Amino acid sequence: MKKRLLALGLSLGLILACAGCGGGDGAGDAPQGEPQADAPKAAEKLLLGVSLQNTGDVFDRILYEGMMAYGEEHKDEIDLQILNAQGDVNTQLTNVDQLINSKVKALVLWPRDVDALTPAVEAANAAGIPVVCVNTRTNGGAYTYVGSNDEEAGRIQGEWLAEKLPENAKYCYLMGPIGHSGQIGRKKGMQAVLAEKRPDIELLAEQTAEWDRAKAMNITDDWLKSFPEVTAIVSQNDNMALGAIEAVRTADKLDSILVTGTDATEEACASIKAGDLAMSVYQNAHDQGYFSADVALKLARGEWTKGDMDIPFEAVDAENVDQYIVQYEAAE
């Protein structure tokens, strides 16, 4: 799949190329002196706006690719105007204003922060523009959510840890950006399960690495020096988990420390197959991107009445990873 990922621009609008609709004027066929019938007009294409929080992570790019796949399949019906905030909340707020001023017929928003992007949703509401929040919710405004339940991802991860970790295990926790709905929900779900099923498991430290591999590697390296008793490094995404694995490998502790992630990306599945990453929680980034665009088009046409669209998480470990590897290979 990674071979097909599109090169991504900086913070600029990207308009999908439109296929022209040709047609003859029929002058040679009409009887002389008779009024000529107008050629049938193609249906007007709808402009849909997309505000991405970032495209720096593998998951980000797969979600983006899902949107682009939908746009290509429906290029006779829609144009997608896509703006990338590159991880900056203020830039994303500006991008949404720009899309509203462009009079888009629907807005797909991947919010950087649940609180900071609420005014963006409210601004689109005030302009009469239907909103789809993809992958991440906001704390206010009216929108349709397309994505997975982050609390469920945390619960799945917690269930696996509760079953696999030894008695009195101790773990360190790598989190996404503070305030991101994934960071909030995944933490809530995992800790609820551990509190109920394994109160003996102790949290030694937690810190955001902002979904970043290099930051996660450095943080984990510090933890390994500060907490030699650590049993597991638990991560809210795979990119950070893979960074943690590098630190654990360097310390020669892969045999004694479990590392878990979330998203089950292609690279993470390969790591599970190799015996390095212990488990992940599959989140279908492609389908989130694809169906967020689909719901946006249906909202613009007044055809969507089903409410939110849930795309379920799935636990992935050595027992079932092969089916996900096959799935990725088929997409290449």
Task: For the chain, give percent helix, strand, coil, nearest 5.
Answer: 40, 20, 40
Query: Would you say residue 191 has pLDDT above 70?
Result: yes
Query: Angle CA(3)–CA(265)–CA(242) in degrees, nearest 5?
Result: 105
- Residue 249: pLDDT over 90: yes
Q: Which residues have CB under 8 Å from 316's CB, separation 6+?
A: 264, 268, 269, 272, 279, 280, 281, 282, 324
Query: What pLDDT does 142 receive?
Result: 97
Which range is least confidently modeled, 28-37, 75-84, 97-106, 189-198?
A: 28-37
In this predicted structure, what is the pLDDT of residue 59? 81
Average pLDDT over residues 9-25: 37
What is the per-residue pLDDT for 332? 61
Give the integer Cα–Cα distance in Å for 289 and 294.
9
Residue 77 confidence class, pLDDT cut points 50, 70, 90: very high
User: What distance, in Å, lies between the first and last C-alpha atoms of the chain?
Assistant: 4
Residue 304 has pLDDT above 70, yes or no: yes
Per-residue pLDDT band for 62 (boundaries 50, 70, 90) equals: confident
Residue pair 53/85 in contact by the 8 Å Cβ criterion? yes
Radius of gyration of the chain from its Cα atoms, rounded to whole angstroms: 23
Under a CB-based contact definition with an 8 Å cutoff, are residues 294 and 131 in contact? Answer: no
With 80 as the cut, is the pLDDT of residue 39 above it?
A: no
Mean pLDDT value of segment 147-154: 94
Q: Which residues of 297-317 are buried (b: 16+ CB within 10 A; e: fewer)?
A: bbbbeeebeeeebebebbbbb
**Token duo for residue 120:** 């963006």
Residue 174: helix, strand or coil by DSSP? Answer: strand
How sure is the predictor about 56, in pLDDT bands with cuts at 50, 70 and 90? confident
Q: Which of 8-22, 64-78, 315-329 has the highest mean pLDDT?
A: 64-78
Confidence of residue 204 (pLDDT cuts 50, 70, 90): very high
For 132-150, write each residue's pLDDT tens digit. 999 999 999 999 999 999 9
Confidence of residue 328 (pLDDT cuts 50, 70, 90): confident
Q: Which CATH class is domain 150-282+318-331?
A: alpha beta
**Average predicted confidence (pLDDT) for the chain:** 88
Beta pairing class for 131-134 and 144-147: parallel
For the domain made up of 2-14+44-147+285-301, give the CATH fold: Rossmann fold (3.40.50)
Cβ neighbours of residue 193 under 8 Å, at least 6 residues apart? 154, 155, 158, 159, 161, 162
Start and end residues for every CATH 3.40.50.2300 domain found in the chain: 2-14+44-147+285-301, 150-282+318-331
- pLDDT of 331 reads 59
For tokens 């599959």, what's the residue?
Answer: 282
Over range 18-37, report the average pLDDT. 37
Entry pTM = 0.70
Percent of the chain past pLDDT 90, that is, above it, reads: 80
- DSSP reduced 3-state for 175: strand
Which pLDDT band holds residue 38 (cuts at 50, 70, 90)? low
Answer whether residue 21 shows pLDDT above 80.
Answer: no
